[in-house]
Chains A and B, each alone.
Chain A
Amino acid sequence: MTSIHWFRFSSPASFYPLAGKLAPWFGWAAALFALVGLAIGFFVAPTDYQQGESYRIIFIHVPAAWMAMFTYLVMAGWSAASLIWNTRLSAMMAQALAPTGAMFAFVSLWTGAFWGRPTWGTYWVWDARLTSTLILLFLYLGFIALRAAIDDPRRADKACALLGLVGAVNVPIIYFSVRWWNTLHQGASVSLTSSPKMAQTMLVAMLIMAFAAWFYTIAVALARVRHLILEREAHADWTHRLVEDAR
């Protein structure tokens, strides 16, 4: 296989068509995996002895939480790349990922609450994981808000990249400190991290759903970055030709 010159794709103009071709594949893969995952989760996995049918929420709660965390790391990676190599596309990828990451963080909190209520009696517990996810949501919102507050795109790129990196470095510190804080206050000792004893099928379904979430995130990010590229390159000839041909 001949070597692919990946850097050729680092210009927005050449990445645009590539992203356009890839996005639908990831979208369909996400749908397929979600279908299979949910089918296994609802029809193959057994009822939990303690939690009854309510445990089936984990098939979306845990993948959402994982995606929220993982997406932030990927965002930080793109942010680092954009600062090191001064590439616009890297910054745009980080910008494209943020809303989806925030969405998953929010869904993780919501589903966590609706799982917590029947299982432990309250909608919200200040346990380490939920609290850290809440702070993670704030970090996402801060990133998005900073982007919106700065008009100049290049300045916004760099400012958000710096913020993303500072945030990423802080995430382990925040998680560690929240866990410390939580274990000291044994009153709220019910932790949503104590998942039900996993039957094999439950684990498989959860992993498949995790992949579904990942493919979905990639698909949406690729679609979003195309829109961002169009906006940023609005005065370039290639975008003019593209839009006029489509008319």
Chain B
Amino acid sequence: MIEWLKMGGYGYFVWSSYGMLALAILVELMLLRRHREQARQRVLDAIEEDSS
């Protein structure tokens, strides 16, 4: 298992690549979640405005 992780000595390069992809996807999904909250809040604010 450890041998496999080492990727024949290229572990640093392989996992830096896959790691960055994973990080990028994670960041994108987190930003997406935040976007959803902002959108929801925008509608709630509009409800407030429109009813007053």
Contacts and interface: CB of A to CB of B under 8 A. Distances in A.
A185 interface: no
Contact of B38 (A54, A114, A216, A231): A231
A227 B36 contact: yes
Nearest to A42: B4
A52 interface: yes
A227 B41 CA distance: 11
Interface string A101-136: 001001100110011011000000000000000000
Contacts of A61: 17
A57 interface: yes
B16 A52 contact: no
Interface residues of A, number: 36
B26 to A, nearest CB: 11
Interface string A131-171: 00000000000000000000000000000000000000000
B43 A243 contact: yes
Majority secondary structure, A binding face: helix
B39 A103 contact: no
Interface residues of B, number: 30
A61 B46 CA distance: 43
Contacts of A174: none
A174 B9 CA distance: 37
Nearest to A116: B13
A114 to B, nearest CB: 5
B8 A53 contact: yes
Contact of A231 (B7, B31, B42): B42
Nearest to B4: A42
A114 B11 CA distance: 11
Interface of A: 47, 52-54, 56-57, 60-61, 64, 99-100, 103, 106-107, 110-111, 114-115, 117-118, 216, 220, 223-224, 226-228, 230-231, 234-235, 239-240, 242-244
17 contacts: A52-B9, A53-B7, A53-B10, A54-B13, A60-B17, A60-B21, A99-B28, A106-B24, A107-B20, A110-B17, A118-B13, A216-B25, A220-B29, A223-B36, A226-B39, A231-B39, A242-B43
